[in-house]
């Protein structure tokens, strides 16, 4: 009788914990929920795109990047004044056209940025698919192509070939410099394989900021079936997130099965 009463209290306590976890989950920050949803959509789209043929992938990437570039260019064009139309030295006409293209109106800016970003992304996509990596050579080749594309849309076929070559070379040099600076200052740490399942669980629950707490307490993936409220409290995780984590572990059949073994 006493054992049955204790079992009933445990079941009621578990039900209350699940109810509180569900209530807390419904009251989660909508921005965090949106971020998680966006990440899931982004991951699914990248997985689908990687299975397509090279022409399809390059076309999709170029179009998406071109649209983004057009939007940014159009926005910049609305914020920059139109360049006054005055007489210029014929010898400086080509340079004047490029400067005029840079400070042009929204449509000019949208066109130029669409060409730059679209061609750059398309070439980079092709180079990565062929060479299997993103490196300095691929970045420089993509920049050369975007430089030629910019010269073409800003000056047309009447532009001087030397200016097109100079512009493309300038794009390549700047891209190479930025690439090397990015390599030097942004060295992402590799994902720790001992926290793969924990990271996925926290991301799904919108609690990814507590990943450092898991690492601080050495709560690796093998410890997930053994987690208790006190263990999570020891690594300074608040009550609400603790309920969500424990409820998720209880509902996950794979983790729950490991606990029963």
Percent of the chain with pLDDT over 70: 71
| Rounded CA separation 210/103 (Å) | 46
pTM of the model as a whole: 0.52
Report pLDDT for 192. Answer: 65
Report pLDDT for 26. Answer: 47
Domains of the chain and any CATH numbers: 37-79+94-186 (no CATH), 195-257 (1.10.150.50)
| Rounded CA separation 108/77 (Å) | 7
| Rounded CA separation 44/181 (Å) | 30
Element (H, E) at 86: none
For Cα atoms 211, 212, 215, give the angle at the middle one, nearest 5 degrees.
90
The stretch 213-235 carries a mean pLDDT of 89
Q: Which of 28-37, 73-82, 123-132, 180-189 has the highest mean pLDDT?
A: 123-132
């Amino acid at each position: 009788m006493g054992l049955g009463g204790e079992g009933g209290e445990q079941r009621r306590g578990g039900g209350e914990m699940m109810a509180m976890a569900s209530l807390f989950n419904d009251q989660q920050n909508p921005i965090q929920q949106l971020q998680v949803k966006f990440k899931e959509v982004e991951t699914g789209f990248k997985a689908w795109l990687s299975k397509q043929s090279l022409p399809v992938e390059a076309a999709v990437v170029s179009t998406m990047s071109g649209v983004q570039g057009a939007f940014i260019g159009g926005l910049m064009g609305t914020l920059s004044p139109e360049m006054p139309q005055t007489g210029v030295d014929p010898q400086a006409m080509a340079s004047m056209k490029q400067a005029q293209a840079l400070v042009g109106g929204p449509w000019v800016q949208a066109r130029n940025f669409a060409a730059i970003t679209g061609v750059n992304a398309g070439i980079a996509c092709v180079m990565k698919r062929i060479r299997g990596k993103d490196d300095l050579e691929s970045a420089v080749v993509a920049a050369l192509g975007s430089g030629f594309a910019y010269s073409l849309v800003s000056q047309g076929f009447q532009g001087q070939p030397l200016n097109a070559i100079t512009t493309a070379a300038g794009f390549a040099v700047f891209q190479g410099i930025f690439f090397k600076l990015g390599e030097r200052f942004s060295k992402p740490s590799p994902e720790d394989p001992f926290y793969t399942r924990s990271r996925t669980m926290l991301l799904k629950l919108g609690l990814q900021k507590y990943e450092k707490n898991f690492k601080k307490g050495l709560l690796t993936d093998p410890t997930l079936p053994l987690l208790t409220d006190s263990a999570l409290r020891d690594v300074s995780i608040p009550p609400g997130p603790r309920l969500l984590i424990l409820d998720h572990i209880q509902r996950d059949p794979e983790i729950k099965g490991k606990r029963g073994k």
